[in-house]
A and B are shown apart, each in its own frame.
Chain A
Amino acid sequence: MTYFIIIISAIFVNNIVLSQFLGICPFLGVSKKISTGLGMTGAVTFVMVIATIVTYFIQKLILVPFGITFLQTISFILVIAALVQLVEIVLKKVSPPLYQALGVFLPLITTNCAILGVAIMTVNRDFNLLEAVVFSASSAIGFGLALVTFAGIREQLELVEIPKGMQGAPIALLVAGILAMAFMGFAGMV
């Protein structure tokens, strides 16, 4: 049941984009294509989970035992930056065609704040490993949910005449705001 609560909480109640404000840049900036949004979600989830596992161990096996938790930020960011690149290198080595296909279809995933933020959030919450992983995967899915819904709305808004002053970022933020308002309905569900 706790896992269930973690999942529901991370996806709906405390959605990382709509209520935690993480990963806003890709959320606002990523292509308006829905399929791209879906692919992105897969990639982000994968990276987030790996990053969570690795940072979890760094925290547990290095930082805490040596009493150097203040190195959390710097070590996490280095590890995550390296990991993201590592995934790319491995993919390129292992399967060039796959790697190429991803290159054409998906924007790259870099160390955006969602990944670092989730990694820090997980270690700060005293989760065990499995909980941590479930949490980060659900957060990523929450990210995807917001991203895809948003892509859909944006695609639709492309078709109508938005008042000049509101075009672009303002209307996107407004939609995000209303979505966030709607998602508040899930409050207390965990």
Chain B
Amino acid sequence: MAGKNQIEHEGIVEQTEGDHVKVRILTQSACASCHAKGVCTAADLQEKIIDASSDRTYSAGDRVTLVGESRLGLQAAWWAYILPLILMLGTLIVTFSLTKDENLSGLLALAILVPYYLLIKIFNKKFLKTFSFTIKPSMD
């Protein structure tokens, strides 16, 4: 059943390619969700282009709502932030307790992110499948 545990985000269709649609969305920083949006335009609004699949045809400029399971949000945060964080902490603790060399272990902890993100790059195809969105028209 759809409708459960979903998260929605407003966006505007940028272009369509077959059953794939590129949707432009605006993300806002945590600060921007406050009342000061108008005042505080500094670097906290970003546009992103999101690929989404659609069941019907949209044309550029349509206002749509992106729908995805909210579980995916946490999953994405896991891959993007939490797992590398754990890796980093792990490296730091291990190398630090082995070598007692701060500079080295610090460097290694940061360096471990490089192979990690490369690995992520390899798994990209998989993510593409997991993190998919559907869209529906906004507000009829």
Contacts and interface: CB of A to CB of B under 8 A. Distances in A.
Same complex for A and B? Answer yes
Interface of A: 25-26, 28-31, 33, 35-36, 38-40, 42-43, 45-47, 49-50, 53-54, 56-57, 60-61, 81, 88, 90-91, 94-110, 112, 128-130, 133, 137
Contacts of B71: 35
Given A129-B92, A129-B106, A101 B73 contact: yes
A102 B77 CA distance: 7
Contact of B31 (A26, A40, A60, A98): A26
Nearest to A114: B30
Contacts, number: 177
Contacts of A91: 80, 117
Contact of B131 (A54, A97, A133): A97
B128 A97 contact: yes
Contacts of A25: 30-31, 34
Interface string B9-52: 10000000000000001011111111000000001101011110
B74 interface: yes
A109 B80 contact: no
A90 B117 contact: yes
B30 A95 contact: no
A98 B80 contact: yes
B76 A98 contact: yes
Contacts of A137: 85, 89
Contact of A49 (B79, B85, B121): B85
Contacts of B74: 35, 38-39, 42, 105
How would you classify the secondary structure of chain B's contact residues: helix, strand, loop or mixed? helix
Interface string B78-101: 111110110011001100100000
Contacts of B84: 46
B29 A110 contact: yes
Contacts of A56: 106
Contacts of A103: 25, 27, 46, 48, 50
Contacts of A106: 27, 73, 76-77
Contacts of B33: 29-31, 107
B68 A49 contact: no
A40 B30 contact: yes
Contacts of A108: 27-30, 32, 44, 46
B103 interface: yes
5 closest A-B pairs (Cβ-Cβ)?
A: A105-B73, A26-B30, A29-B34, A101-B76, A46-B81
Contacts of B25: 103-104
B120 to A, nearest CB: 5
Contact of A57 (B92, B103, B124): B103
A101 B85 contact: no
A28 B31 CA distance: 9
B60 interface: no
Contact of A97 (B92, B93, B127): B127
A85 to B, nearest CB: 8
Nearest to B133: A104
Interface in B109-125: 109-110, 117-118, 120-121, 123-124
